[in-house]
Amino acid sequence: MKQQITNIAMKAMAESSPTTLKVGTVKSVGPVVVEFGPKNYTPAGAVLVAEDLIEKVYTADVEPTNIATHGNHTHTATVTREGLKVGDKVAVIVYNGGQSFFVVDKAVTA
């Protein structure tokens, strides 16, 4: 992800167009649309999303921690990484003269 941010920043500098960081609200996830204010939305198809923000299902074989009591076998565990949802607050890099958008991460209050 750092390389993607670096590439975007370098491209923006080369084009002499400013890059800004904005916080917005996800209004749609297919395609991703972000709202920055009333009547200020990202155009569909102009949004890149960091891979960590895409829903993904992982499966893994898990061995018991105590073979003496559980036997020598494995279980398959499934873990789902939650993706973006409508209503999520997100940090967005705006570049290419305000025509392109990169959703970097969810924005939360600490």
CA 51 to chain centre: 6
Write out pLDDT tens, residues 51-62.
Answer: 999 989 888 887
Question: How far is residue 29's CA from residue 48's CA, in Å, rounded to a whole number?
Answer: 12
Range of 101's domain? 2-106
> Model pTM?
0.70
**What total number of domains does the chain contain?**
1
90 burial level (CB within 10 Å; 0-12, 13-18, 19+):
buried
Write out pLDDT tens, residues 85-99.
Answer: 999 999 999 988 888
pLDDT at position 78: 87
Classify the C-alpha dihedral 59-80-1-4 as positive or negative. positive
